[in-house]
Structure 1
């Protein structure tokens, strides 16, 4: 079934002349975050080895915590240039998207139990791949889900802010409130409670986190100094309580302090006051 779809779109693409890139977390970024941010092609172009020596490349992005993969794109005209500008990645690939597959990009989801290798000949993995579903629309950062359901990664927040996604901006700028940042770094799990008032509400506050990661908070800035630029990659953002934007600063601080006490974020977390 899958082979028929691929070859019907581009007859010159065959299992023998095509490689599959199974893109997973590289220790620094998750490719799904990169894909949703629109930076996947550049991210993929840096390789430690000549991994894409083939006529065609099919790139699949892991859906976190599943054995399913989203089609990011199909590429040809792959050429590797050796570079000395990056210590980790020795090669930079130039390639072009095969536009005939654009209707399936971000929509086609495959099921596949991946072996250890991330770069496989299509002929090797084709028999184990099945079509799980084809989405009606390409996968993107979704519409605002409601205040109680907000639970987004730092990369998703950056994507939302960079693209000024209207449903999120409208919702978050309409209210003041108390928010939670949870750091899911293994062995260093901590919480931070903050609050936002003012004209732009929570949106205005979260924009600063999207741009700098730390929002000016002392203990989070310490994480930046200790961990380096990737300090916020495991942060998640959620909302604990919402209020009218007319809520006074003192009242909002009292709400913030209530959550700090309940969640022990002064004693065991990232709140310094």
Structure 2
């Protein structure tokens, strides 16, 4: 669990983790008991054990809650009257139907669920597409622009690489994972598509568009692009 200047948890407390879906809907992902506090800032600051008795609800319990504050940490007492259980899914949530390339905006957890659970609609859409994509670090606004071409196995393979190790072989992202850990990526990275192309599009054109987006978004100066 990530820790910044404000410490949300202390040893012995229970952490209920929710993933935002859409339209004020949240998915229960896990419930953990904090077992140890680690004296760090901007890093994984706690050790925790999953509470097994609630496992059957992980990925299945959907709640409704309207979040009006910027910070993501809450005490249960401050929001319990606003939480509404609206559904218990028959199977673990594995993502929405593919919404179109222009509407892709996925957290690491959402992308991992799509890939690991082999969501056919999503995988079919990503498998044969070349693209220029954007990775955003939601904790600080830094961005990384990348491309998926035939050389790197198209968009599905490229994003699968990120799910496997967090950096996909990119120099600056690898340095980030080495210094802050894979959990930092899992908790803060968001994935979207800037432009997409069919498999026949020339790779050199896509690389040119990648460069254009790097220049436009200034990701070499202020983001995670090295070149």
TM-score, reference length from structure 2:
0.69
Deviation at 1:229, TM superposition (A): 2.7
**Unpaired segments of 5 or more residues in structure 2?**
4-9, 39-44
Is 1:223 aligned with 2:176? yes
Could you tell me which of 134, 139, 146 is aligned with 1:194? 146
Q: Is the 8 A contact 1:70 1:110 kept in 2?
A: no
The CA RMSD measured in Å over matched residues stands at 4.2
Distance 1:146 1:65 in 2: 16
Superimposed CA distance per residue, residues 138-163 of structure 1 (whole angstroms, 9 cap, x where no aligned partner): 75421211100000011211111111
Q: Paired residue for 1:95, among 17, 32, 53?
A: 53
> What is the alpha-carbon distance in structure 2 between the residues aligned to residue 111 and residue 268 of structure 1?
33
Instruction: Note the residue ranges of structure 1 that are not aligned, 5 or more in a row.
Output: 1-25, 29-46, 52-58, 74-79
Q: Aligned-pair distance for 1:262?
A: 1.1
Q: How many residues align?
A: 203
**Structure 1 Cα separation of the partners of residues 22 and 103 of structure 2:** 19
Quickly say closer, same or farther: Cα 1:176–1:66, change in 2 above 3 A.
closer
* Mapped pair 1:165 → 2:123: no
State the alpha-carbon separation in 2 of the partners of residues 206 and 259 from structure 1.
Answer: 18
SS state at 1:164 partner:
coil
Q: 1:137–1:91: structure 2 CA closer, same or farther, 3 Å change rule?
A: closer
Q: 1:257 aligns with which of 208, 211, 215?
A: 211
TM-score, normalised via structure 1 length: 0.58
Once the two structures are superposed, the pairs formed by residues 17-96 of structure 1 within 5 Å of their partners are 26-27=1-2, 48-49=11-12, 61=18, 63=20, 88-89=46-47, 93-95=51-53
1:149 alignment partner, one of 103, 106, 109: 103
Higher relative helix content: 2
Post-superposition CA distance 1:107-127 (Å, at most 9, x none): 4647899x9644x7xxxx98x
Q: How has the CA–CA distance of structure 1 residues 158 and 109 changed in structure 2, closer, same or farther, with 3 Å as cutoff?
A: same
CA distance in 2, matches of 1:185, 1:111: 21
Residue 206 (structure 1) aligns with: 159
